[in-house]
Amino acid sequence: MFNEIDCNMNSNLQFSKVQFPNEKRVATGYAPIALEIRRDIVKMLTLAKSGHTGGPMGLADFMAVLYFGKFMKYSANEPQMPDRDRFVLSGGHLVPVLYSCLARAGFFEPDELSTLRKFGSRLQGHPGLDTELPGLETSSGSLGQGISIAVGMAMADKLVDHNDRKVFCLTGDGELEEGAVWEAAMAAANFKLDNLCWIVDNNDCQIDGRVRDVMSIYPLAEKFEAFGCNVIEIDGHNFEQIVNALDKFEQNNKNKSGKPTVIILKTFMGQGVSFMQDKYSWHGIPPTEEQAEMALQELK
């Protein structure tokens, strides 16, 4: 496990000990959390020398609100708490942002972030339940499958167990090119899963270029509306809009609207670092140590 691994960290790539409570905050209160998450991502990927940088960086703002704004019920002290809400990362390659959130929420010590993608680490390049990392709800990585798992979870909660649990699922926009995604959308609407919050990271970037050029998914909001979903489009870097969108999902769920909620985040890949921002070339590469130093200077 991670304490057996020699990480050889230099001082710039060491992780702070700070952790954050899950509580309601003013919108500006999420900015320091998102900044810490972005620093974690840069450090993790630099130490790993492989992995996906751009997408996780673009999701730091939303994930800061989701995990630390009391929108999702969880307990780091009791990860398998029966009435917890669940988060499914369908786009498994985006996992550095999730690992950072779990560490900063107290599921494990932040120092373990230094073991990303190392042999024997619990923090593999795609999340795996076999690692027994607290806070993970499912393995993922084959794009298009995680949202189907999330729909199954939401169906079990609403139709079988009749409980108040919520299911949050994050997909990338390139992932929407997978046909299974739209089968999941059809099922979510058909079974009236108002306990499902589907988050789409719409940065219009995938490994081969712009999503609109590789295989266009647009018009996106209209597609989800046609499937019977409640759609909210927001600036994924605006904390007030993120809070308002999650509030609307909560209301949709409490009102038993019978519609799944889809939040479309307009984000920039590599947000927060000037030489990464909105560049699809950063989809699947890590920073060098020199690039990490520049990035961390910008993220002070």
> Higher model confidence: residue 141 or residue 155?
155
Min mean pLDDT across 43-47, 120-124, 204-208, 257-261 is at 204-208
pLDDT tens for 194-224 read: 999 999 999 999 988 999 999 999 999 999 9
Q: Which domain holds residue 200?
A: 27-298
Question: Would you state the pLDDT for residue 141?
Answer: 85
d(CA 252, CA 224): 16
Contact yes or no for 229/189 (Cβ under 8 A): yes
Is 245 part of a structural domain of the chain? yes
Is 20 part of a structural domain of the chain? no
Cα 279 to the center of its chain, rounded Å: 19
Is 247 part of a structural domain of the chain? yes
Report the pLDDT averaged over residues 147-158. Answer: 98
Contacts 24+ apart (CB under 8 A), 71-75: 71/246, 71/250, 72/22, 72/166, 72/168, 73/165, 73/166, 74/22, 74/105, 74/135
Is 6 part of a structural domain of the chain? no
| The token pair that represents 112 in the structure block | 């373990």
CATH at 196 = 3.40.50.970
Min mean pLDDT across 41-45, 199-203, 206-210, 225-229 is at 206-210
Average pLDDT, the chain: 95
What percentage of the chain carries pLDDT values higher than 70?
A: 97
Which amino acid is residue 41, in one-letter code? Answer: I
- Is the pLDDT reported for residue 1 higher than 80? no
Question: Would you state the pLDDT for residue 180?
Answer: 96
Question: Would you state the pLDDT for residue 9?
Answer: 54
Cβ burial, residue 89 (10 Å; 0-12/13-18/19+): buried
Is 71 part of a structural domain of the chain? yes
pLDDT tens for 84-120 read: 999 999 999 999 999 999 999 999 999 999 999 999 9
Is 22 part of a structural domain of the chain? no
Is 293 part of a structural domain of the chain? yes
Domain count, the chain: 1
- Is the pLDDT reported for residue 157 higher than 80? yes
Is 290 part of a structural domain of the chain? yes
What percentage of the chain carries pLDDT values higher than 90?
A: 95
Question: Would you state the pLDDT for residue 3?
Answer: 45
- Is the pLDDT reported for residue 6 higher than 50? no
Which SS3 state, helix, strand or coil, does residue 7 take? coil
| The token pair that represents 135 in the structure block | 């806070």
pLDDT tier at 174, thresholds 50, 70, 90:
very high
Question: Would you state the pLDDT for residue 5?
Answer: 43
- Is the pLDDT reported for residue 11 higher than 90? no
The set of residues, in sequence order, having a beta carbon less than 8 Å from that of 140 and lying 6+ positions away, is 88, 89, 90, 91, 92, 126, 127, 146, 149
